[in-house]
Structure 1
Amino acid sequence: MKIIAMIPARYSATRFPGKLMKDLNGKPVITRTYEATVNTNLFDDVIVVTDSDIIFDEISKIGGHVMISQKEHECGSDRIAEAVADLDIDIVINVQGDEPFTEVESLKKLIQVFKEDKEQQVDLASLMVHITDWDEIKNPNTVKVIVDQNNFALYFSRSPIPYPRDETVSVNYYKHKGVYAFRKQAILDFYNLPMLSLEASEKIECIRYLEYGKRIKMVETNVQGVEIDTPEDLERAKKLWK
């Protein structure tokens, strides 16, 4: 089984433009993410795929493997799908460029899903973290996920799910971490299928898989790290890095 990691790296992020090239204690965020992914020693290859000459030059400068997207893309999965179309691989793991704290154990868990999936019932796997802070649960920048008894995703939302109509019922809330592991065919299917209304409304790309009947295995991890979506996140990341 050939497994690679891909890091989609869009320069013009809506909420925090140029965030991947912001300094994180001596190196750009994208460089920290690339090096952390390589240092896991889990992958046959690690590739940054970007729309930016600035990011391309940065990864090239450190001797990294980087590709320029040939088309404009709405999301990271589309960017990855274009990049892997002609590659001889089985599994591709999408590591978000703004998550420099991605670590070994979580990625191992994702890879293990496919090693154990002898009947190939899993189309993709992703990570979730148990959260209890109600401010985070309500925060629309935090994508939540609910799962069935076998940890297959039922739905993702920026709203609190499940909604606590009966506050006496004890339920767990899970934050979705944007690290995915795809079978190659699943991500190529995603690229060729049009966006439907639920994905368009929530602006959560993995909903497309659910709308078209794909099965997403969620894997719980205790590692939150820091997703750098805002300047405040970057400041928290700098403190955590020390």
Structure 2
Amino acid sequence: MHAIGIIPARYASTRLPGKPLVDLGGKSMIQRVVEQARLSSLSRVVVATDDERILEHVHGFGGEAVLTDPDHPSGTDRVFDAYQQLGVTADCIINIQGDEPFIHPAQINALVALFEGEKAPQLATLVKPVLSEDELFSPHLPKVVLDSQGYAMYFSRHPLPYQRQYESVQWLAHHRYLRHIGLYAYRPDVLAAITKLPPSSLEQAESLEQLRWLENGFRILTAETELETIGIDTPEDVERARKLLKMTA
């Protein structure tokens, strides 16, 4: 089983410029992501970046990185660019978010395991049970509806399903909601195919790229995790991460 992890890392960020290089307890964010990914079953971990500063930094701490086209519209496109540059053949490619310094190796392994059977899925991602109303109604935490086989039917920033017989404060008591964790796995041929798709109407409505894949007939298998991850999007997130690192040191 040959699984490659690719971490897209852009320098530009509206809310946090230079985000991959932000210091978190003496190490950059991108270094922490790489180190966590290396603890998993992945055979190789590569950073895909659009910036020479990030490239040099990753090489400086002994990581592997490639320089990709700065005009890629999404992390998926950047991952495919990097994979092509590597010139290798993998059974699956894992897209690891470059702003998740606390990613758990077990979460990566859960996706890799889905590709070890006789018939590998086209795509895979992680889901996690929703535990609070804040999670359920936050538009920043996409929710997902699954079919009976664990394949995603739809992703939304709104809680689905809408339970018309109950007040919204009762929804969690009467239905098991799942939120999406943005870790993706692809078969190489499927990754090549989805990067050729134009933006879809559902994707544009929800601002969720995975809806483009569903709308075009691709199937996304899910694995469930109970583990929490912490994404870094704002200066406030950086401070929370630094406090957490001090508590766990």
> How far apart are 1:164 and its partner, in Å?
3.0
Counting aligned pairs with the same residue, the percent is 39
> How far has the Cα of 1:71 moved from its partner?
4.9
User: TM-score under structure 1 normalisation?
Assistant: 0.93
Matched pairs, number = 239
Q: Could you say which residue in structure 2 is the equivalent of 1:133? A: 132
The more displaced of 83-92 and 48-57 is 83-92
User: Could you list the per-position Cα deviations for residues 203-233 of structure 1 after superposition, in whole angstroms to 9, with x for gaps in the alignment?
Assistant: 1111111011111111110111201122222
**Structure 1 segments of 4 or more deviating over 3 A?**
none
CA distance in 2, matches of 1:45, 1:12: 26
Residue 28 (structure 1) aligns with:
28
**Preserved CA contact (<8 Å) 2:91 2:115:** no
In the other structure, the counterpart of 1:198 is 202
Alignment partner, residue 233 of structure 2: 229
Residue in structure 1 matched with residue 95 of structure 2 by the alignment: 94
Deviations 1:173-200 (A, max 9, x none): 2121111111101111111111111112
Counterpart-to-counterpart distance in 2, 1:166 and 1:228: 37
Give the alignment's Cα RMSD to 1 decimal.
Answer: 1.5
1:139-187 deviation digits (Å, cap 9, x = unpaired):
1111111111111001111122222322266112212111111110111
- Output the TM-score relative to the length of structure 2: 0.91
Secondary structure in 1 aligned to 2:116? Answer: helix
Q: Deviations over 1:68-95 (max 9, x none)?
A: 1035111100111122134322210011
Which residue identity does 1:25 align to in structure 2?
G
CA contact (8 A) 1:226 1:236 kept: no
**Which one of the candidate residues 170, 178, 193 is aligned to 2:182?**
178
Query: Which one-letter code corresponds to 1:107 in the other structure?
Result: I
Is the contact made by 2:69 and 2:78 (CA closer than 8 Å) also made in structure 1? Answer: no
Q: In 2, distance between residues paired with 1:230 and 1:71?
A: 22
Deviates more, 1:208-217 or 1:132-141: 132-141
Q: Which residue type is aligned with residue 195 of structure 2?
A: Y
| C-alpha contact (below 8 Å) 1:46/1:65 kept by paired residues | yes
Mapped partners of 2:234, 2:176: distance in 1: 27
Q: What is aligned with 1:187? A: 191
The amino acid across from 2:5 in the alignment is: A
CA contact (8 A) 1:4 1:93 kept: yes
Whole-angstrom distance in 2 between the partners of 1:162 and 1:233: 30
For 2:230 and 2:204, the matched residues in 1 are separated by: 26
Q: Which residue in 2 is equivalent to 1:19? A: 19
Partner Cα separation in structure 2 for residue 142 and residue 57 of structure 1: 33
